Amino acid sequence: MGHYEEVELTESSVNLGPERIGPHCFELLSVLGKGGYGKVFQVRKVQGTNLGKIYAMKVLRKAKIVCSAKDTAHTRAERNILESVKHPFIVELAYAFQTGGKLYLILECLSGGELFTHLEREGIFLEDTACFYLAEITLALGHLHSQGIIYRDLKPENIMLNSQGHIKLTDFGLCKESIHEGAITHTFCGTIEYMAPEILVRIGHNRAVDWWSLGALMYDMLTGSPPFTAENRKKTMDKIIKGKLVLPPYLTPDARDLAKKFLKRNPTHRIGGGPGDAADVQRHPFFRHINWDDLLAHRVDPPFRPSLQSEEDVSQFDVRFTRQTPVDSPDDTALSESANQAFLGFTYVAPSVLDSIKEGFSFQPKLRSPRRLNSSPRTPISPLKFSPFEGFRPSPGPPEPMEPSLPPLLPPPSSPPPTSTAPLPIRPPSGTKKSKKGRGRPGR
């Protein structure tokens, strides 16, 4: 009759599939950050695969998200993008799950902390240091754009370092999908100091906005503050739309040229704004010493390597958070069935969880005070929380020399755009040097 093997039919041998993931699978170790929708914890996996692995757990309260259709859409977009996009310089999603009142994203733990922290510590970066970080970010943005995704919230707080010192883009809540060549979108969102002028004037925008933001970030790295700042939002927006770009004399010719090309107000004239996208940026002489294949493969040594004692080391994060007792407070908020429909399909287990997950971390700080006395707060803008033209009008006065105005990317909207009244000339800083101010992060 031949040889047969007897197999007992049990739950462990039938219907094998992804493990059942929930809060019980993770031990809370430290608080890494806190925002309006919830907290970010460092956690250890205590059940199932990858036992003992350290992750970052982002916890969001459903009740606060479902109040806004836009926030609900952004949350779903963040989760979907994290699942679909895999790249060496983009944070990895390991798990996503939900309870009755909360959403959970389990991400690789980026223990090197925020680029913001290191920039604050150094004041400014040398050009070689800035070149390394800008090159890695360029590859990340280029990959997102190739997938039809624009990022829209590039700033030092959303760039993390892994344990080796390589960057990872995090916080995809303001991303927009399906923006391929020729497509535009209209949502007013981002962080004012890094927002492209075409977002501010609401003529429609595309992936070129990310290259403007990279230019603002480059300027911030090399000078100590973004290129256009003022004491309030209105004046900051006015400067972004009309102000003269002032570059310090100590920048090299290549750095000056790239910054100018990033910060072109006309997106069709902006480097990266054409069909070549990231490839045009990569060819600029500022990056002439970068071997892009080696950079992508992590074969280039970062300029800074975090000093870490263990996988659980949280020394690169703000002690105002890490000293707190980590508690994922209960949330018994009962959402209606229709409200819960918005989160169908949220649960996810990454294929890579069966292998080792790279070390890293994700964090979502949203507010910070300026690094310089004459800067305005880095204020993220949600479409429903701030109307860009509420109380905003260009200041009257004689015109100043400036670039040609932005071309219309779409027919004018039904509501009138800002008036074309000529602005006051932007005065250069006075000879008196202002004192620096710390880059603290007030909670939102």
Q: Say if residue 397 carries a ligand binding annotation.
A: no
The response to whether 142 counts as a known ligand-binding position is no
**Residue of 384, 316, 321 whose CA lies nearest to 165:** 316
Find the angle CA(154)-CA(298)-CA(307) to the nearest 5 degrees: 80
Q: Could you tell me which of 274, 77, 58 has the C-alpha nearest to residue 160?
A: 58
101 labelled binding-site residue: no
**Residue 13 and residue 9: Cα distance in Å, rounded?**
6
257 is catalytic: no
| Residue 34 annotated as part of some ligand binding site | yes
Residue 436 is assigned to a ligand binding site: no
Report yes or no: 272 and 211 within 8 Å, Cβ to Cβ: yes
Residues 97-108 as b/e (b if ≥16 CB within 10 A, e otherwise) read bbeeebbbbbbb
Would you say 35 is a known binding-site residue?
yes
State the DSSP string of 11-64: TTTSS--S----GGGEEEEEEEEE-SSEEEEEEEE-SSSSTT-EEEEEEEEHHH
CB count, 10 Å around CB of 424? Answer: 14
Give the list of residues 6+ apart from residue 10 with CB closer than 8 angstroms, or none: none
Q: Between the CA of residue 239 and those of 145, 217, 242, 374, what are the distances in Å?
A: 28, 16, 5, 13
Catalytic residue (choose from 153, 210, 238, 277): 153
Instruction: Confirm whether residue 215 is marked as ligand binding.
Output: no
Q: Is 434 annotated as a binding residue?
A: no
The residue type of 179 is I
Joined together, the tokens standing for residue 51 give 């036992």
* Integer Cα distance of 222 and 250 in angstroms: 10
Closest CA to 84 of 144, 137, 159: 144
Are the CB atoms for 29 and 43 separated by under 8 Å? yes
22 is in an annotated binding site: no
CA 100 and chain centroid, separation = 28
Is 48 labelled a binding residue?
no
Residues making up the binding site: 32-40, 58
Active site residues: 153
- List the binding residues for ATP: 32-40, 58
